[in-house]
Structure formats: structure tokens, C-alpha cells
Structure 1
Amino acid sequence: MSVKILALVGSLRSGSHNRQLAEAARTLAPGDVEIEIFDGLGDLPFYNEDIDTETDVPAAATRLRDVANAADAFLLFAPEYNGTIPAVLKNAIDWLSRPFGAGALSGKPTAVIGTAFGQYGGVWAQDETRKSAGIAGATIVDEVKLSIPGSMTRFAETHPADDPEVVEQLTTALGKLKANISA
């Protein structure tokens, strides 16, 4: 049986190292795992209950929810912006948390990883992302932790998929996430 993991990348930058990390994860995924990297987080309006009604949900939010509902698990890539979670990733979590108690994240295994420029690799942002996604109903896979420091220098000339240490760590993280997906 094939499983589908939806990857959400918290950076919109075209040369994002977290996007590259997501691409590496897609390449390294076991044969029975499909990782879809969602494009379009930048199109989501900020979450607002006034525009999240039964009759009038923004198209970008409907698209995200549809893709998320079809996923078996989530892999969130969290860079660190000013010591915390990027707004675009938090906004996506907010959209996926609704309707309250039955959002697309509810009960689905979710892992948070990433890379950042600082010496700790975005640990604070990843912790905040785990907290937010967990409150939104996701089942956080706590044994998956991968924070890669020094992204601007480490990946200046090397794609994460070409870094043996990253490949090993990412492969291990994917295996742990997959093990938490119910058959």
C-alpha cells in the first residue's frame, strides 16, 4: 500500500534551502511513499473566520485543504524567522486546523524538520511549529527531529541531496515518519 505525505515548506524564497531539503526528501522517500510538495502557501490569505464560511472559502484555502485531506501524513519544513515559526507556515496550519476538531491535520502523523542559518538550525521555529500543529490536532511524531545549522554556508554550493550526512539523517527521519502512519 502506498502512502502520501504532504510537505509544507515555510519559506517562499525561490532559492530556499528548506525547499531544497523538501526536494531531497521527495527523492529519498521509500518506493511506497509519495511526497507531494505543496506550492501555493503564498497564495493563502491570512486566516480570518469571516472569510472561512460554508459558502465562501477562498480558492487557495480550499485547494490546500483538499490536498491535505488526501494526505496520510505531513512533513513540515520550518526555517527560523526572528527566532520563531515563519508566518506563511503558521497561516497554513491555521487554515488546516478548521473546521475546529475536524481539520485536515486532525490525527495525522506530522513531523517537523528544517534548516536555518543560525548555529542551532531553527530549533526554536521547529519547536513552535510542533506546538502549533499539535494544538491544531496533528499527531506530532516527536522522535523525528532534524535541525541543520549553517544553511547559508553549508548549502551555498551543495544541494542537501548531495550532502551524505543530510541524506542519512533525512532517510532516518522519513523512516520514522512512515512507521507512524497507520496501514
Structure 2
Amino acid sequence: MNVYSSVARIGIRSTIAAKPQRSVKPFIRTMAATPNGDLNNTSAERVRAETAIDPAYQDLSLAIPPSEDDFDIRKAYRPFILEGEDATQDWIAQLELSTVLKMVDTQVLKPGDDRLRVVVLHGSMRQRSYSRLLAYEASRILFRLGCDVRMYDPTGLPVKDDVQHTHPKVQELRELSKWSDGHIWICPEQHGTLTAVFKNQIDWIPLSTGSVRPTQGRTLAIAQVNGGSQSFNTVNSLRILGRWMRMFVIPNQSSIPMAYKQFTEEDAGSRLMPSGNRDRLVDCMEEFVKYTIIMRPHFDLFGDRYSEREEKRAKQAKEANKPAPDTQHAALSTSAGPSN
């Protein structure tokens, strides 16, 4: 038995010793060199050309000068404007935005087109509303980029019902939306979603008023402010709202955590302090302007739908086949026969 055991053990050891040890490194290198092993799919990445900075636009401002601005519009809709030295020394004036400034100058202003028309909505009426403060900062960036920016004040807007359509604040909001090329929506997060103040504004904007659609085809940028840690519940809800309103929501978005720590005190101007969150807001406004410039010339094209063309054709065919009023009356008289 000992002999057999010894032979068995020798055989097992021989079998184990005969197997060569596998090298893991070549296998890993092989996987990295194949598409299936390229976890980030870098092999399919499109090569992008770096955009050159045009020094002529580096420090430029395309803001509407006071001499060319409508006094009443400026007073009613531009509370964000900084005057004098505050404007020239402001952090927004120092931003490197040459690419988008050049786009606005060469594709909008020099050809003589209207400035991009932007409506800004915010979702709080508190005295120190952080969504309003963030809306101010967003508006200042857009204003420097040459946009005609108008901030709507929700104070006095009635709660949505089916009666007060002629209320001045309702009419004001609807007219601003019809006038606009794009919207900026900035809302606090409350109880895990957007506020009633903000939703009430959207509820007052109809999807259509006759043949006019106050939001369809407009571009939209979204942002939220948080009282606590960073969340994206509200911007997600805003994105869904924008889709339902038939708007084009830009891919980027901004969420400001612990907003009470992100702004200076009132005596220092209540300004957004330097951070990655501030940089993201700039990214969003820059991206919004680029998309709006590209899409605005095709505004009517985006509203052209097969189903609506078919509906219109069916209505026209029905009208064409409808008998004239006199013919219809004569046919009814004949079928009734002579009266006794």
C-alpha cells in the first residue's frame, strides 16, 4: 500500500510540475488592445480640433449699451445690471469667452439680426432668494454675450386656475415667452423637487394659443440651488418639463449645493463666489448661447410635423367637399316635397 501511495503521490507531483505557469500580463495587454477590452471606448473617440482663441474677442463685451437700450425694458426686466466700475471690474467681465463672443458678433450682430431674446424664470419670492441671485449671475453672463435678457418677476402672479387668463401678470408672462428665443429656468429644491412658485409660472404658459406655441422650438438651460448637499432632483424635473413644453434642453446643467455658503453677504453684492460650481454656470450659459445661435434660424423647421400636416390636409379636404349653403338648402327643400 505504501508503494502504491508513493507512486500516486509522485504521479500527482509530476502532473502538477509538468503544467507551465500562465503569464497574466500578456493577456491583459491583449485585452487592452482590443475593442472589447477598451472599457472607455477610447478607440472610437472622435478626434476634436482645438478651438483657437481669437484675442480680438478675449475681453470684449457685447452688452446692450444704455444709450441703445429701452429705458422701460431696462428698468422692468434688467435688475441684474451692474453700473460703472462695478461692471468693468466684475468677475464676469474677466471671463475668457472669445469663442461664443465671436459667434454672436459674426453670426448675429454683424449680419443685422435681432439679438438673442432670453427669458429668465426663477422659483422663489424670498427676500434673499438664492435662485434669484443665481438668475442674476446667469443673466449678467448672457448680457455680456450680447443677449436681450429679460427677467420675469413672479410676484403677484395668481395661482393657476381657468378664470384669470387676462390677469396682467399672466399676460406678461405669456407675451415674454412668445417673444423669446430661449429660456433660463432656475429653481430651488424644496421637499425633493421644484417649488410651487416655479411650477405655477410654467402652468400659466399654454402649449398652444391658437396657432401660436409660446415655448415650442425654444432652447432651454436649467439650474437649481440647494439648501443642503448637491442634488439633481429639481434639474431632472425641469428637464422633463422642458421636454413636455416642446423645448430643446441643453445637455449641460448646474446644481449649487449649500447655496447659503456660495454667495457673498448683501453688503458685498450677494455675488456668487469662485468655485467649480460657478465655472459650471458659465459653461451652461456659454453652451446655451451656442445652441440658440445654431437653432434659431431653423425655428420654423422644428415646428413642422407630419401628423399636423396630415391633420391640416384632412381639414382642407373636408372643407372642399362640404356643399355650398344654398345647394344644401335646396336639396333639403326638394326632399321634403310639396306642402299640402
TM category (shorter chain) comes to 0.7 to 0.9
Superposed CA deviations along residues 110-167 of structure 1, whole A, max 9, x for unmatched, are 111021112124x1112112212321222222x1211010112333647344425344
Corresponding residue of 2:88: none
- Contact map agreement 1:96 1:103 (CA 8 A) in 2: no
**1:77 has 2:186 as partner:** yes
TM-score, structure 2 as length reference: 0.48
Give the whole-Å Cα distance in 1 for the aligned partners of 2:205 and 2:116: 20
Q: SS state of the match for residue 188, structure 2?
A: coil
- Contact map agreement 2:188 2:225 (CA 8 A) in 1: yes
Greater RCO (Cα-Cα under 8 Å, separation 6 or more): 1
Superposed CA deviations along residues 15-51 of structure 1, whole A, max 9, x for unmatched, are 1111111111122224322322111x13222222344
Corresponding residue of 1:170: 281
Structure 1 residue ranges without an equivalent (≥5): none
Q: SS state of the match for residue 204, structure 2?
A: helix
Q: 23-32 vs 97-106, which deviates more?
A: 97-106
**1:33 has 2:142 as partner:** no
Structure with the greater alpha carbon radius of gyration: 2
Q: SS state of the match for residue 150, structure 2?
A: strand
Q: CA deviation at 1:62?
A: 0.4
In structure 2, give the amino acid aligned to 1:9: H
- Contact map agreement 2:193 2:234 (CA 8 A) in 1: yes
**1:103 has 2:218 as partner:** no
- Contact map agreement 2:194 2:234 (CA 8 A) in 1: yes
Corresponding residue of 1:137: 246
Superposed CA deviations along residues 55-79 of structure 1, whole A, max 9, x for unmatched, are xx22211011111211110000011
User: Which of 257, 280, 283 is the aligned partner of 1:149?
Assistant: 257
Give the whole-Å Cα distance in 1 for the aligned partners of 2:246 and 2:239: 11
In structure 2, give the amino acid aligned to 1:22: A
Give the whole-Å Cα distance in 2 for the aligned partners of 1:22 and 1:28: 10
Give the whole-Å Cα distance in 1 for the aligned partners of 2:196 and 2:135: 18
Give the whole-Å Cα distance in 2 for the aligned partners of 1:27 and 1:162: 15
**1:3 has 2:112 as partner:** no
Q: CA deviation at 1:95?
A: 1.3
Change (3 A) 1:47 1:103: farther
Corresponding residue of 2:66: none
Task: Give the number of the structure whose residues are more often helix, by fraction.
Answer: 2
- Contact map agreement 1:8 1:75 (CA 8 A) in 2: yes
Corresponding residue of 2:136: 23
Corresponding residue of 1:44: 157
- Contact map agreement 1:103 1:137 (CA 8 A) in 2: no
In structure 1, give the amino acid aligned to 2:247: A
**1:12 has 2:125 as partner:** yes
Superposed CA deviations along residues 69-125 of structure 1, whole A, max 9, x for unmatched, are 11110000011111111111111111113436843111101111021112124x111
Give the whole-Å Cα distance in 2 for the aligned partners of 1:76 and 1:136: 13
Q: SS state of the match for residue 222, structure 2?
A: strand
In structure 2, give the amino acid aligned to 1:32: G
Give the whole-Å Cα distance in 2 for the aligned partners of 1:160 and 1:126: 22
Corresponding residue of 1:180: 291
- Contact map agreement 2:225 2:255 (CA 8 A) in 1: yes
- Alignment RMSD (CA, Å): 2.1
Q: SS state of the match for residue 144, structure 1?
A: coil
Give the whole-Å Cα distance in 2 for the aligned partners of 1:6 and 1:59: 17
Change (3 A) 1:102 1:46: farther
Q: 59-68 vs 132-141, which deviates more?
A: 132-141
User: Which of 201, 210, 229 is the aligned partner of 1:92?
Assistant: 201
Q: SS state of the match for residue 253, structure 2?
A: strand
